Structure formats: structure tokens, C-alpha cells
A and B are shown apart, each in its own frame.
Chain A
Amino acid sequence: MNGQGIHWTALAVFVFFFALVTIMGFVAARWQRDPDSAPGDHGKHLDEWGLGGRRFGAWITWFLVGGDFYTAYTVIAVPALVYAVGAYGFFALPYTILVYPVVFAIMPRLWQKARAAGHVTAADVVYGRYNSRPLELAVAVTGVVATMPYIALQLVGMEVVIKALGLTGEFPLAAAFVILALYTYSAGLRAPALIAFVKDLMIYIVVLVAVVLVPMKLGGYASVFQTAQADFAAKGGATGLLLKPSQMLPYATLALGSALAAFMYPHTLTGIFAAKSADTIRKNAVFLPAYTVLLGLIALLGYMAHAAKLTVATPNDVVPALFGALFPAWFAGFAFAAIAIGALVPAAVMSIGASNLFTRNFWKAYVNPGISHEGEAKVAKIVSLVVKFGALVFILFIPTQYALDLQLLGGVWILQIFPAVVFGLFWKRFTAGPLLAGWLVGLATGTGLAFADGIKPVHAFVVGGDSYAVYTGLFALLVNIVVVLLAQPFVRGRPAISAT
């Protein structure tokens, strides 16, 4: 599969699977439908389009949440980082382990509040709790802004595999995205939920084959680790199979901060709100770690690339290059299709999550408060097209680095809504003003530090001559929470709309 030109066998396999999920995407509109609804009513309520009717049981939720959490970009970027720096890139593993106890403790409660009051977004829940339009807007805007570059990164993932197939130009990417936009428009959340089954099955096959066969071809895992070790030793710098002492604190804080941020994003929350019961979410917190095993193995592909003696133009090409070099063309095509479809699922859920936010917390709040359920669904469908088109324009006309930078900042920003979204679920004393002040200060702190560092995720604090580097987002969250706690005693809040 090396060399220039189009790889026809791989491309044929790729196109076959892409066509398969496209058909599934359109068929999905009829899937998991409420048997009691009249035939013409379907899709006329935002709950139906934007949350799949809130009837997804444990299995579907598992695939959907896993499918939109572990994205195409993950499959490309995590091995790329591990390939480039070694152990430090592995922070994705503790991150995606720690996220599930957090989900278990917090998300069933959030689901209960949302279900009881018919809330569709986190900002809805916040408005219901604090009766504050500004705080609702803060949560909603942060969600939309943080999600946009995330969608763009899914396109980066897709771009990488399309390039590996030998296709050039921007047309294939645009075509894939138009297809995605159309079936998301017609089927809503049901499309990615159904496609997630295929995506995950394909990714599991690819990864299991890779982690068994690749080390066999490369002389076993011990040899894979040793070659990587030797390469890192030759390369020098902050790379290696183990963390440098200065990397340990960044490693831990990145893992913790990312775990707290993960389920603040609108797309992950959409998966939560679409669950049919709070218990569905608890069960998922138990079983979702199965995905993390997969992620750990995917990360090791970065070391396998060292063992395979690959040379790549950029680390992002590591995974496609590995499959291209070690597998027959048809399997490489299958793997690339798995990754590209792995971009479709989260991109669809992200655009739906962002549309739900826009519709509920901007359009309904400020433009048309009396909007009907059918009107909401219409607005959300149109916004989902705009959001995806925006991401496409972004990736076609603006350097990829900007998307990466914005995604990094997005992580810092989304973490700042944590107190607003979570505190009210457990404690009654908090009110909107202090939470809004904390959000603002946290946002300013995180953004300021990130820019001062040249858009780096980690900031070094010098205390008594020693340097301590921590994840900027987590530090900003700490500042945020301190502001909330300090301001709260001085403020009397307005009562909540919904009981408790």
C-alpha cells in the first residue's frame, strides 16, 4: 500500500462500508420509534429528533456514549502523541478511567432533573435550578463554542484516512460531510446511535487484529517497547517509556481535569439525556470502561509504529501508515473506513448537542419563547446543518493548527461550567451570581494563562524556586470554585423555578 496514487482495493472496501452506514443513517429515522405515536407525528418534537425519544436502553447508550466519546480523532491523535512523546501521551488512559466514577456519581442525578422537567440540555437544567438567564447563556455559549473545534477535529481524522487512501483534493471530505449532514437532519440522534453499532464493531475488529498481529510481525510486545525506548533515547528531550519527574504533575492534572470536563460537553451529555432511565446511566458507568481497554491498546499503536520503523510526515499519519504498511489493502481499507465512520458518529452527536443548546437556550429563550415542540425540532434541524457546514468551512479554509488550539482552549472553557452544572444537583446553597462570577473568572484565568504560554495545555507555576506544572484548565476550575465559595455568603439568590 505504499507509494502514490489511489489504492483501489482499499478504496472499494472503504466506499462499501461508507455506503452501508449512509443507508443505515437514513433508515435510522424509523428505528426505536415510540409505538404509540401517530405515524405523522414522528420527528415533530425535539425529544424525538434531538434525544432519540429518550428511550435508549443500556446497550444503545453504551454504544452511543462510547461512540461519541472515543472519536476518530482519538484513534488518530492518541497514538500520534504516544508515537511522538511516549508515556506522556498515555494520560488519555487514566483520564478515560477516572471519567466513569465521575459519571456514576453525577450523571444519574442530572438525568433525573432533566427528565422530571423535560430539559434537553445542561443549560436547561441550570436555568431550571437557578432561574437565571445569564447563567443559562454562559453554560450554553460555552458548550457551543467548545464543541465547534471538536467537530472540526473529526474532519481532521477523516482527512487523514482519505489522504491515506490516495485521494487528493477537498471534494471527498466535503461529500462525506454532506452525506452526514443529510441523514443527521432526517434521523436526528437515532442515526449516530444506530451507526455506532457498526462503527464500534469495526473498530474493535481492527484494534484486536492490530494488537494481536502487529506484535507478532514485530517480535512481540517486549520488542515493541524496546524499539520505542531506543528511538526515544536517540531522540532525547521529554520523551520516553516513563515520565520525566517534571511530567508527573502535568500527567495527573491533565487526566483529572479532562475527566471532569468530559461529560460537560454537549455531545456527551446528549447521550446521557437520551438514556431511558437513570439506572441505564449507572450501568453504563460500570461497563463503559471496556472502551478504555480499547483506547489503551490503540495508544500502543504509537509504539508499534516505532517497531515497524515507519517514517511519517506528521505524527497524525502514524496509524494509517501502520495499517498501510503491515496489512493487505482490503484490511487497510476496512480500518480506514472504521476510522472515518468513527468520525461520523461523534460529529453527528456534537452537531445535535450544539443545535439543542441553540434551540433551547438561545432561540426559545430570546427569540421565540412561545415556540411549539414542532418548531423547536425544526430550528434544531436547520441549526445542525449550519453547525456542520461551519466546521467544514473551518477545516477547508483555516489552518488545522487553529482547530487544535481552539480545541485545547475549548477543554479549558468547558471545564468552567462544571460548578454551574453540578453544584446545584447536590447542594442548595449556591445561587446564580457567584456561579456566574466563578465562570467568568475561571474563563479569564484559563484563557489568559493559555495565551501567555502560547496555547499550551500546561502552565508552570514557580513556588519557592521550584517549578510546578499543572493543567491550566484544572487550575482555572480551582480559581473558579474559590470565587464561587467566597462570593456565595454575600449573595441572596432568587428561588429556583423547579422544586429543589
Chain B
Amino acid sequence: MRLLLLLPFVGLLWVPFYNRELPALFGFPFFYWYQLAWVFVTALLTWLVYRSEHARNVVEDEEAVR
């Protein structure tokens, strides 16, 4: 699941993929709305990882602080 956290890096650092004007959305060129969309996608991916790890993390946190 942690690998999901790598997707934003691929999506945002591969600049030639999104350095274009079309398709536009609500007047926003692709370059802009694509990157803004990654805000939501990244939050979603992080949440999925958070959820999948939650039980394990609780145990790890308790051990670490003890």
C-alpha cells in the first residue's frame, strides 16, 4: 500500500506529460487543473494508506513511546 505514496511523485515530476493547454476545464488550461487535481488524488491516496496501516501503526506507536 505504501507504494501508492509514490504515485504523486510520478504524476507531478513527469512534467512533459502535463505541460499542455488542452483539454481545458472551466477555463483552466490542463497544466493548472491537472496539478490542482493531484492535491485531491494525493490526499485520497494518503488516506487509503493511512486506513490500511492504522491497526499496525497503533501498536507501533504504543511500543515506541513506552
| Chain B proximity of A79: nearest CB distance (Å) | 14
Chain A residues with CB under 8 A of B27: 220-225
- Contact yes or no, B46 A286, CB < 8 A: yes
Chain A residues with CB under 8 A of B66: 116
What is the CA–CA distance of A78 and B7 in the complex, to the nearest angstrom?
Answer: 25
The residue in chain B whose Cβ has the minimal distance to the Cβ of A290 is B43
| Chain B proximity of A444: nearest CB distance (Å) | 27
Judge if A437 is at the interface, Cβ distance under 8 Å: no
Chain A residues with CB under 8 A of B65: 112, 115-116
- Contact yes or no, B9 A287, CB < 8 A: no
- Considering only residues 13-42 of chain B, those with a C-beta below 8 Å from chain A are 13-16, 19-21, 24, 26-29, 31-32, 35-36, 38-40, 42
| Chain A proximity of B36: nearest CB distance (Å) | 5
- Considering only residues 14-57 of chain A, those with a C-beta below 8 Å from chain B are none
Beyond A220-B27, A225-B29, A242-B21, whether A98 also contacts B8 by CB under 8 A is yes
Beyond A221-B26, A287-B43, whether A101 also contacts B57 by CB under 8 A is no
- Contact yes or no, B5 A104, CB < 8 A: yes
Chain B residues with CB under 8 A of A306: none
The segment from A275-283, A354-362, A383-391, A405-413 found at the interface with B is A275-283
What is the CA–CA distance of A279 and B54 in the complex, to the nearest angstrom?
Answer: 9
Chain A residues with CB under 8 A of B61: 108, 112, 277-279
- Contact yes or no, A221 B28, CB < 8 A: yes
What is the CA–CA distance of A300 and B26 in the complex, to the nearest angstrom?
Answer: 14
- Contact yes or no, A98 B29, CB < 8 A: no
Q: Number of contact residues on B: which range applies?
A: 35 or more
The residue in chain B whose Cβ has the minimal distance to the Cβ of A87 is B31
Chain B residues with CB under 8 A of A104: 5, 46, 49-50
- Contact yes or no, A101 B58, CB < 8 A: no
Beyond A94-B12, A101-B8, whether A278 also contacts B57 by CB under 8 A is yes
CB < 8 Å neighbour of B46 from A94, A100, A292, A296: A100
The residue in chain A whose Cβ has the minimal distance to the Cβ of B36 is A296
Chain B residues with CB under 8 A of A112: 60-61, 64-65
- Contact yes or no, B29 A241, CB < 8 A: yes
Beyond A87-B31, A90-B32, A283-B50, whether A256 also contacts B26 by CB under 8 A is no
| Chain B proximity of A111: nearest CB distance (Å) | 9
- Contact yes or no, A279 B39, CB < 8 A: no
The segment from A231-239, A247-255, A335-343 found at the interface with B is A247-255
CB < 8 Å neighbour of A93 from B6, B16, B36, B58: B36
Beyond A101-B9, A104-B46, whether A296 also contacts B39 by CB under 8 A is yes
| Chain A proximity of B4: nearest CB distance (Å) | 9
- Contact yes or no, A108 B20, CB < 8 A: no
What is the CA–CA distance of A278 and B26 in the complex, to the nearest angstrom?
Answer: 39
The residue in chain A whose Cβ has the minimal distance to the Cβ of B24 is A222
What is the CA–CA distance of A222 and B40 in the complex, to the nearest angstrom?
Answer: 22
The residue in chain A whose Cβ has the minimal distance to the Cβ of B28 is A221
- Contact yes or no, A252 B46, CB < 8 A: no
What is the CA–CA distance of A375 and B60 in the complex, to the nearest angstrom?
Answer: 34
| Chain B proximity of A334: nearest CB distance (Å) | 26
CB < 8 Å neighbour of A242 from B14, B31, B38, B49: B31
What is the CA–CA distance of A434 and B65 in the complex, to the nearest angstrom?
Answer: 29
Q: What would 12 more interface pairs be, CB under 8 Å, given A221-B27, A242-B21, A256-B13?
A: A90-B32, A101-B6, A104-B50, A105-B2, A223-B27, A243-B31, A278-B57, A278-B60, A279-B61, A285-B50, A289-B43, A293-B40
Write the residues of chain B forming the contact surface with A, with a CB cutoff of 8 angstroms.
Answer: 2, 5-6, 8-9, 12-16, 19-21, 24, 26-29, 31-32, 35-36, 38-40, 42-43, 45-47, 49-50, 57-58, 60-61, 64-66
6 contacts between A and B (CB under 8 A): A105-B5, A116-B65, A221-B26, A255-B13, A279-B57, A282-B50
